[in-house]
C-alpha cells in the first residue's frame, strides 16, 4: 500500500458480511459514516445483515487532489490517479479475497458518485456494478483550463463519448440516480445520452421530489441495492 495513503485506509469504515462487495465513496465534505450522523449505510442495514452485501468505505483524499489549488492541475490529476491505484490494488484486492467475488461494485453520492462512475468506466474488468447518486461528471472546473491525456481519461463525458469498445461494459449494471431538484441533474442526462449513443445499458433514475441531500440518498441507496 502506498505509504502516503496508508493511514487513510487503516481506519476506513467496514460493514462486513459475505456476498457482493461494494466500495462506497464519500462526498468530500460529508463522509459516508453512520457514526458521523449520515445514515446512508444504516439504511442499507437490511442488505448487510441479510448477508447480501459487504460495504467498504475508504476515506476520500479529494481535498488533496482535485480541490487542492496549491498544486498544478496536472498534479491534482496524478494525485487522484495514485489514490485510484490504492483502491484498485488494496481495497479491491482485500474485498475480493474476503468475499471470493471476482469483481467489486462501486457506489457513491455527489463527488463520490463521480468517483464510482469514473473508476467503473476506467476499469470495467474489476467492477460489477456502478451506483451513482447526484453526481456531476464534467471535471474541467477542477483543472483551471489545463488539459492533458491523464485528465481526458478521468473526465467521463470525454472518454466515454469516444469509446470504441462499448461491449466491455455489457456485464456491468450501471445506475445514474438524480432527481428533479438535483443541481447535477443535467450532468446525469448528458452522460445517459452518451451511454445511449454507445448502446451501453444503464438505468437513469430521475426521481420526483428528490434533490442533492443525504436524506434523498438514504431513500434511494437501499432501492439500488435491491437491484443488485
Predicted confidence (pLDDT) per residue in 30-43, tens digit:
554 444 435 688 88
SS3 content of the chain, % helix, strand, coil (to 5): 45, 15, 40
Share of the chain above pLDDT 90, in %: 75
83 DSSP assignment: H
Contacts of 42 (CB under 8 A, 6+ apart): 34, 218
How far is CA 86 from each of CA 89, 109, 119, 152, rounded to the nearest angstrom? 5, 20, 12, 20
Over range 80-90, report the average pLDDT.
96
* Residue 166 burial (C-beta neighbours within 10 Å; 0-12, 13-18, 19+): middle
Q: What would the pLDDT profile of 15-71 be if each residue is shown by its tens digit?
A: 444 468 888 886 644 554 444 435 688 888 899 899 899 999 888 899 999 999 999
Rounded mean pLDDT of 105-130? 96
Confidence (pTM):
0.89
* Residue 79 confidence (pLDDT): 98
pLDDT at residue 38 in the model: 52
Give CA–CA dist 103/194, Å, rounded. 24
DSSP string, 113-134: HHHHHHHHHH-TTTEEEEEEES
In this prediction, residues 123-146 reach a mean pLDDT of: 97
| Residue 194 binned pLDDT confidence (cut-offs 50, 70, 90) | very high
- Residue with cell string 448477508: 51
CA distance 87 to 176: 21
Domains and CATH numbers, the chain: 6-226 (3.40.50.1820)
Amino acid at each position: 500500500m502506498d505509504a502516503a495513503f496508508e493511514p487513510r485506509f487503516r481506519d476506513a469504515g467496514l460493514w462486513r458480511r459475505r456476498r457482493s462487495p461494494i466500495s462506497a465513496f464519500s462526498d468530500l465534505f460529508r463522509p459516508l459514516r453512520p457514526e458521523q450522523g449520515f445514515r446512508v449505510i444504516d439504511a442499507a442495514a437490511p442488505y448487510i445483515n441479510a448477508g447480501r452485501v459487504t460495504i467498504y468505505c475508504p476515506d476520500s483524499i479529494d481535498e488533496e487532489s482535485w480541490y487542492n489549488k496549491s498544486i498544478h492541475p496536472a498534479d491534482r490529476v496524478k494525485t487522484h490517479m495514485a489514490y485510484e491505484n490504492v483502491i484498485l490494488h488494496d481495497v479491491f484486492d482485500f474485498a475480493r479475497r474476503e468475499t471470493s467475488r471476482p469483481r467489486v461494485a462501486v457506489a457513491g453520492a455527489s463527488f463520490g458518485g463521480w468517483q464510482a462512475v469514473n473508476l467503473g468506466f476506467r476499469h470495467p474488468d474489476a467492477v460489477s456494478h456502478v451506483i451513482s447518486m447526484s453526481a456531476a461528471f464534467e471535471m474541467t472546473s477542477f483543472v483551471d483550463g489545463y488539459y492533458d491525456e491523464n485528465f481526458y481519461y478521468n473526465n467521463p463525458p470525454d472518454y466515454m463519448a469516444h469509446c470504441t469498445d462499448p461491449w466491455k461494459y455489457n456485464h456491468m449494471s450501471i445506475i445514474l440516480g438524480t432527481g428533479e431538484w438535483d443541481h447535477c441533474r443535467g450532468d446525469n442526462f448528458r452522460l445517459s445520452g452518451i451511454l445511449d449513443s454507445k448502446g451501453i445499458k444503464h438505468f437513469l433514475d430521475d426521481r420526483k421530489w428528490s434533490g442533492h441531500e443525504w436524506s434523498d440518498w438514504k431513500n434511494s441507496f437501499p432501492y439500488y441495492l435491491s437491484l443488485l
